[in-house]
């Protein structure tokens, strides 16, 4: 772009109140960030226009009305949740990597996940992760109902763990808290246990240990046929 073109664009922006040119992708990314960080209630067309330094009419022109925009964000979230790839040398390791990736994606976008759920698309959103787990269950030698149950157990574990984490994040300060609940008698009987339970939990460690234990029991040691 020449200096004259740059000067002309800057002059045009000043004449239009300093508004910047936008495109559809930029609008969607800004809207996604608003919902991800502050929830759907924070998404208004005026607020989005202000974030982008654009006219409200330009937002409508690119993405339609607010409901159409929310629908688009839902579809994008479903697509993003499908981008899960298994990694590892064994079926158990690859299944664990899928569970870790699924938890990370669910934790990173709770408000967007809630929008998907409200529109009845949760099962569709979870399907790619399910298929990845089915592949690893088959690779571990599981078939039929045994494989299906293994996949569902792990899926329920991931979702349930994330819900517990979200609940802890939003819960008010507990009084008495865990440090006050472990009395001196317990500390005398098992001081290491009392000290650990009185401290803050490590969600990453808890998730990895519980997930690994589940996979070891489901993937590594299939039950004999009844």
pLDDT in tens, 150-195: 999 999 999 999 999 998 888 788 777 776 776 666 667 788 887 8
Are 108 and 37 spatial neighbours (Cβ–Cβ below 8 Å)? no
Share of the chain above pLDDT 70, in %: 85
pLDDT at 186: 66
Mean pLDDT over residues 94-120, rounded?
94
User: Which residues, 6 or more positions from 210, have their beta carbon under 8 angstroms from its beta carbon?
Assistant: 157, 161
Please state, rounded to an integer, the average pLDDT across all residues of the chain: 84
Residues 66 and 44 sit within 8 Å (Cβ to Cβ): yes
pLDDT at 183: 65
* Mean pLDDT in residue range 53-67: 90
Alpha-carbon separation of residue 179 from 62, 167, 194, 197, 201 (angstroms): 53, 19, 8, 8, 12
The rounded distance, in Å, linking the Cα atoms of 194 and 128 is 41
> To the nearest whole percent, how much of the chain has pLDDT over 90?
55
Mean pLDDT across 118-145: 94
The pLDDT of residue 3: 41
Query: Can you tell me the distance from the alpha carbon of 21 to that of 76, in angstroms, rounded to the nearest whole number?
Result: 23
What tokens appear for 158 in the block? 């991931």
Q: Degrees (nearest 5) of the Cα angle 128, 80, 39? A: 125
What pLDDT does residue 38 have? Answer: 87
Output the CA torsion 162→214→125→85 (10° steps).
110
Structure tokens of 55?
Answer: 């006219």
Is this model's pTM higher than 0.85 or not?
Answer: no
Residue 50 has pLDDT above 70, yes or no: yes
| Cα angle: 28, vertex 32, 35; to 5 degrees | 140
Residue 5 confidence (pLDDT): 38
Confidence label for 11 from pLDDT (cuts 50, 70 and 90): very low
- Is the model's pLDDT at 1 over the cut of 90? no
Query: SS3 sequence, the chain?
Result: CCHHHHHHHHHHHHHCCCCCCCCHHHHHHHHHHHHHHHCHHHCCHHHHHHHHCCCHHHHHHHHCCHHHHHHHHHHHHHHHHCCCCCCCCCHHHHHHHHHHHHHHHHHHCHHHHHHHHHCCCHHHHHHHHHHHHHHHHHHCCCCHHHHHHHHHHHHHHHHHHHHHHHHHHHCCCCCCCHHHHCCHHHHHHCHHHHHHHHCCCCHHHHHHHHHHHHHHHHHHCCCCCC
């Amino acid at each position: 772009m020449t200096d004259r073109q740059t000067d002309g664009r800057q002059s045009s922006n000043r004449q239009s109140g300093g508004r910047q040119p936008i495109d559809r992708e930029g609008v969607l990314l800004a809207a996604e960030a608003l919902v991800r960080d502050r929830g759907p209630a924070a998404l208004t067309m005026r607020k989005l226009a202000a974030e982008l330094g654009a006219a409200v009419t330009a937002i409508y022109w690119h993405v339609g009305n607010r409901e159409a925009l929310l629908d688009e964000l839902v579809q994008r979230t479903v697509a993003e949740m499908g981008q899960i790839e298994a990694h590892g040398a064994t079926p158990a390791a690859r299944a664990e990597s899928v569970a870790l990736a699924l938890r990370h994606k669910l934790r990173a976008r709770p408000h967007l996940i809630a929008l998907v759920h409200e529109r009845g698309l949760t099962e569709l959103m979870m399907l790619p992760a399910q298929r990845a787990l089915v592949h690893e269950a088959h690779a571990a030698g599981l078939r039929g109902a045994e494989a299906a149950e293994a996949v569902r157990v792990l899926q329920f574990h991931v979702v349930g763990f994330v819900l517990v984490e979200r609940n802890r994040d939003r819960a008010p300060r507990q009084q008495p808290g865990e440090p006050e609940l472990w009395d001196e008698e317990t500390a005398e009987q098992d001081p290491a246990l009392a000290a650990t339970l009185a401290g803050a939990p490590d969600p990453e460690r808890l998730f990895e240990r519980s997930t690994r234990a589940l996979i070891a029991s489901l993937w590594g040691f299939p039950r004999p046929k009844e």
